[in-house]
Structure 1
Amino acid sequence: MKLQCPGNPLENYSSRREFLYVGLLGSVGMALPQFFGSRAEAAIKQFPQHAAVAESVIHIFLPGGMSHQESFDPKPFAPAEYRGPFGAIDTKIPGIQFGQFMKETAKIADKLTIIRSMSHGEAAHERGTHNMFTGYRPSPALSYPSFGSVVSHELGPRNDLPPYVCVPSVPNEFANSGYLSSAFGPFALGSDPAQGNFKVRDLNLADGVDHKRFERRRTLLQTVDDHFRTLEKSDALDSMDSFYQHAYKLISSQQAREAFDLSKEDSKTRDEYGKNEAGQRMLLARRLVEGGVRFVSLTAGGWDHHDNIKQGIEKHMPNTDRAIATLIRDLDRRGMLEKTLVMVTTEFGRTPKINPTAGRDHWPRVFSTMLAGGGMKQGYVHGASDSLGGEPDQDPVSIQDLAKTVYHQIGINAQTELMSPGARPIEIVDGGDVLDAILANKA
């Protein structure tokens, strides 16, 4: 019996027990995604695992394709039509500059690893985004799982919290569980933490259902479970029980609910991050990994600047820059940075030359990625683009390289093979190498 996540919750439920499950969770106000399932679809081939350096990952995705020239890889000596509308500023890394609107991130650059030679061949938003969320090129034959879903599958929940959370919502179809069970999909908030009335769905009982009533329904379900276990003798029932127990823990755990509660943060901290979408999303991400979430994915800003890139950068960069820098500082002063891998990505870069509408177009040949904490080198720039920002000039990095490195740091061997629906073994990452050059414990 395989747990499904259909559009109609009454479809594909094959027993009275499953029907009761739908009725119960609906009655207590729980519309949880099925990320708490068992590991029934476990890896079919396990390579030796290694000790994790990072306990959690925060993936900050900048949708639209952020220009590397206006951020981590400015070209101040290029001709004006390539240089763009802004200047460059010095950072805490000697000889390295960022775009002029990255003032706060420049101040903490000595805690960062910057990859300036990311490259892939996908110039369409959807295909580039797929790469950056799964570590795979898109395939018409198979839907690949996101990084967060693989982490959920391999490592499971911790401290009664979902292993994989999207802030504020699932940002795209590629952030889901792919060929893995929907049991390993993300938990989404349902509202934005920057909103004044922010409240996470699924963490509270429905109107008219108090805790006594909740416990009575829970006891009723346990009784039904025992009855059908006797009749069916099915191992799948134990798997379903695991889902129930984790779901109940989430809704009843004070610790779990508080991890999502931004009101627990003092006003000074909230102001430091910025009371805007980027700031409050990153603050909540810190709270979630502090509570025990293994993988948090969030988005910030909009970076598809085909027209008037100057206006676009001026609108989105200051808040994003401030929030990223504050997150790194906050994790560091709490002693969390070494155990939290922060990753800032975007689907591709922008064209070297400014176009006729004062913008830059899609450019996947070379772009930049930022990493911090989680065992990364500090104050290090890996690779380089050429003088116009058009091609990798040194040490090109593929998405497979990046994916293998992230998995390595969180203790997952990316050579592990998982079972796809067609009974075909699929490596977590196919190809690429761990980037030893960017790891702090490597020469």
Structure 2
Amino acid sequence: MLQSSVLKETVLKQEGFHMRCHGNPFSRRGFLAAGTLGGLGLSLPDLLMRQAAAEQKHYDFIEAKAKSVIHIFLPGGLAQQESFDPKPYSPLEYRGEMGTVKTNTGEVFCESIPQLAKRADKFSVIRSMSHGEAAHERGTHNMFTGYKPSPALSYPSFGAVVSHEYGPRNNLPPYICIPKVPNEYAGTGYLPSSYGAFALGADPARDDFKVRDLDLAGGVDQERFIRRKSALEIVNQRFAERGSCDSVDAMNTFYQRAYDLLDTPAAKEAFDLSKENAKMRDRYGRNEAGQRMLMARRLVEAGSRLVTLTYGGWDMHANITAGVRNLMPRLDVALSALLDDLSERGLLDETLVMLTSEFGRTPKVNADAGRDHWPKVFSVMLAGGGIQAGLIHGASDSTASEPELDPVSPADLATTMYRLLGIVADKELMAPGDRPIEIVNGGKLITPLLA
């Protein structure tokens, strides 16, 4: 019965479902219960047999609403006041110099995002994101893993977990970073390094943009490539026979996925921006924000499961008005184009778009006309992939100092993202030393945002 259950889970995962067991007999809680019941005369084998027999009755099937995720990360800390949560009625030293714009849903955004304001019915905003980490590195860790940093364990990023749970689709790498892995917390953590990201290695906005390693090296024809591949397999087999090693296993996995990619013209073509219509490239904007988002759309459309991209530097301790006016227009146009493009292609319903940053900015403008780090409250934008559109979830207080309504933690956000992907957030993965660790610990679903 256990074997049939495992087989059933394997098939369902391939179809975009994950099984969740209430009272998982293989969780830490299950074994703790086994110890307790043993004192009452019920042995561990008896317990496992009973739980296995009941297993068929206690599984729920989590259907994936989202097939892919585009995670747009704004490093440095996006100011909530100069984006999705302006405070027009607060004193000048709190509200800042920028005005507001009315959205097509009747809400108010900062004047810095007029194009997104016209499309507020396509996405939702969380105005009550909150955590306690005011350092860039620690805040970034929270927003890439759903966990507070720990000196005892390195946690895997969203992309690594998705890669672990689902693997490649259409021979595209399951986890891709544009243009590079943005930080150390976007890595695999305690998971094997074979679940790491494929990084483009170059910026799609460059005129000479070309993804590395997608073509055979100069002077290497197909026949020579096959000979090299066979030789490498023989060498790696000798290593494998002497014992398992994460670095060797990871390299084998990367090589195999590279072979699959090289052998799949449609997958390779996904990385070729020259295949895009010139008008479409112009529509996104011929800049870092525009071309990175266009590349992300191409990659999820072709089959990649999670694409992470970064844009700009938002750590504006001085002259924040000038900084936002410089960076935001390209983001506003590109993100609006992405939402429109995904919608027109019928992809928005199955693609979750997340716009995040490591924290927000201080309620009060400082002496240098900037804002400093502020993790107590900030804003996140979500669209598509099973998200209810046109909503504002939660609220900050009158000066954007702290949540006033429905605070949301990074664990809550991660739990909701995984649920939309069909992944059980409290499923236990194995860390070194056979230590079971939940994908997310203690996160709650943000149910009002679920369509």
Under a length normalisation based on structure 2, what TM-score does the superposition of the two structures give? 0.84
Opposite residue 78 of structure 1, the aligned amino acid is S
The SS at the match of 2:109 is strand
Q: Which of 243, 258, 275 is matched with 2:286 structurally?
A: 275
Deviation at 1:204, TM superposition (A): 1.1
Query: Matches of 2:155 and 2:311 in 1, distance apart?
Result: 24
> Structure 1's 365 and 234: CA in aligned 2 closer, same or farther, altered over 3 A?
closer
**AA at the equivalent of 2:324:** I
- Structure 1 distance, partners of 2:433, 2:282, is 50
Answer whether contact 1:202 1:251 (CA < 8 A) is retained.
no
Q: Distance in 1 between matches of 2:108 and 2:314?
A: 20
Of the structure 1 ranges 201-210 and 382-391, higher mean CA displacement relative to structure 2 is found in 201-210
Q: Which residue in the other structure is 2:169 paired with?
A: 158
Q: Secondary structure at the match of 1:418?
A: strand
Partner of 2:32: none
- Paired with 1:226 and 1:142, the residues of 2 have a C-alpha distance of 31
Aligned 8 A contact 1:45 1:418 in 2: no
Q: Which moved more, 1:383-392 or 1:232-241?
A: 232-241
Q: For 1:65, which of 68, 77, 82 is the aligned residue?
A: 77
Q: Aligned to 2:103, which of 91, 95, 115?
A: 91
Are 1:148 and 2:159 counterparts?
yes
TM-score of the pair, normalised by structure 1? 0.85
User: Following the alignment from structure 1 to structure 2, what is the Cα–Cα distance between the partners of residues 176 and 427?
Assistant: 17
1:438 aligns to 2:449 (yes or no): yes
* CA shift digits 1:268-304 (9 cap, x unpaired): 0000000000000000000000000000000011100
> Which structure 2 residues correspond to residues 12-161 of structure 1 after superposition, within 5 A?
50-94=62-106, 96-161=107-172
Contact 2:192 2:250 in 1 (8 A): no
Contact 2:67 2:421 in 1 (8 A): yes
Amino acid at match of 1:174: Y
Tell whether the 8 Å contact from 1:49 to 1:413 is kept in structure 2 after alignment.
Answer: no
Looking at structure 1, the residues matched to 187 and 234 of structure 2 have their Cα atoms a distance apart, in angstroms, of 34
In structure 2, distance between residues paired with 1:408 and 1:369:
18
Q: CA deviation at 1:432?
A: 1.5
Counterpart check, 1:385 vs 2:363 = no
Q: Structure 2: which 5+ residue stretches go unaligned?
A: 1-23, 29-58
Shift of 1:252: 2.5
Matched, 1:339 2:353: no
Deviation at 1:222? 5.5
Is the 1:168–1:190 contact (alpha carbons within 8 Å) kept by the matching residues of 2?
yes
Matched residues, percent identical?
A: 61
Secondary structure of the 2:326 match is helix
Which residue identity is paired with 1:111?
Answer: K
Give the 3-state SS of the residue equivalent to 2:411 in structure 1. Answer: helix
State yes or no: 1:417 paired with 2:428.
yes
For residues 8-67 of structure 1, give each alpha carbon's deviation from its aligned partner in whole angstroms, at most 9, with x where no partner exists.
xxxxxxxxxxxxxxxxxxxxxxxxxxxxxxxxxxx9759865111000000000000000
Please state if 1:171 is matched with 2:182.
yes
Deviation at 1:226, TM superposition (A): 8.2
Q: In structure 2, do the counterparts of structure 1 residues 49 and 115 end up closer, same or farther at CA, with 3 Å as the change threshold?
A: same
Mapping of 1:238-253 within 5 angstroms?
Answer: 244-253=255-264
**Letter matched to residue 73 of structure 2:** F
DSSP-derived class of the 2:214 partner: coil
User: Does the C-alpha gap of structure 1 residues 301 and 243 become closer, same or farther in structure 2, counting only changes over 3 Å?
Assistant: closer
Give the CA deviation at 1:423: 2.1
In the TM superposition, residue 239 of structure 1 has moved relative to its aligned partner by: 9.4
Q: Distance in 2 between matches of 1:304 and 1:218?
A: 46
Call closer, same or farther: CA 1:417–1:274 in 2, change over 3 Å: same
Distance 1:435 1:384 in 2: 14
Q: Any idea what SS the aligned residue of 2:370 has? A: coil
Measured in 1, the distance between the counterparts of 2:237 and 2:187 equals 33
Report the equivalent of 1:189: 200
Aligned to 1:372: 383
CA distance in 1 between counterparts of 2:444 and 2:435 reads: 23
Tell me the secondary structure at the aligned position of residue 217 of structure 1: helix
1:101 CA drift (Å): 1.2
Which has the higher mean CA deviation after the structures are superposed, 251-260 or 237-246?
Answer: 237-246
SS of the equivalent of 2:62 reads coil
CA distance in 2, matches of 1:354, 1:222: 60
What's the offset of the Cα at 1:309? 0.3
Task: Give the Å deviation of 1:217.
Answer: 2.4
SS in 1 for 2:63: coil
Distance 1:58 1:386 in 2: 30
- CA deviations on 1:110-143 (whole Å, 9 max, x unpaired) are 0111000000000000000000000000001111
Give me the whole-angstrom Cα distance separating, in 1, the residues matched to 2:411 and 2:394: 16
Tell me the matched-pair count. Answer: 396
The residue type equivalent to 2:202 in the other structure is S
Distance (whole Å) between structure 2 residues aligned to residue 353 and residue 297 of structure 1: 31
- Deviation of 1:256 after TM superposition, in Å, equals 1.4
Aligned partners of 1:224 and 1:385: how far apart in 2? 59
2:194·2:249 contact (CA, 8 Å) conserved in 1? no
User: Counterparts of 1:234 and 1:109 in 2: how far apart (Å)?
Assistant: 51
How many angstroms apart in 1 are the aligned matches of 2:245 and 2:199?
Answer: 29
Q: Deviations over 1:140-183 (max 9, x none)?
A: 11111000000000010000110000000010000000110110
Alpha-carbon separation, structure 1, partners of 2:223 and 2:194: 28
* Contact 2:194 2:250 (C-alpha < 8 Å) held by counterparts: no
TM-fit CA distance, 1:251:
2.1
Q: How far 1:250 moved relative to its partner? A: 1.3
Matched ranges for 1:258-297 at <5 A: 258-297=269-308
User: In the alignment, residue 378 of structure 1 is paired with which amino acid?
Assistant: A
Question: 2-side partners of 1:243 and 1:188: how far apart?
Answer: 12
The structure-2 alpha-carbon separation of the partners of 1:367 and 1:211, relative to structure 1 and needing over 3 Å to count, comes to same
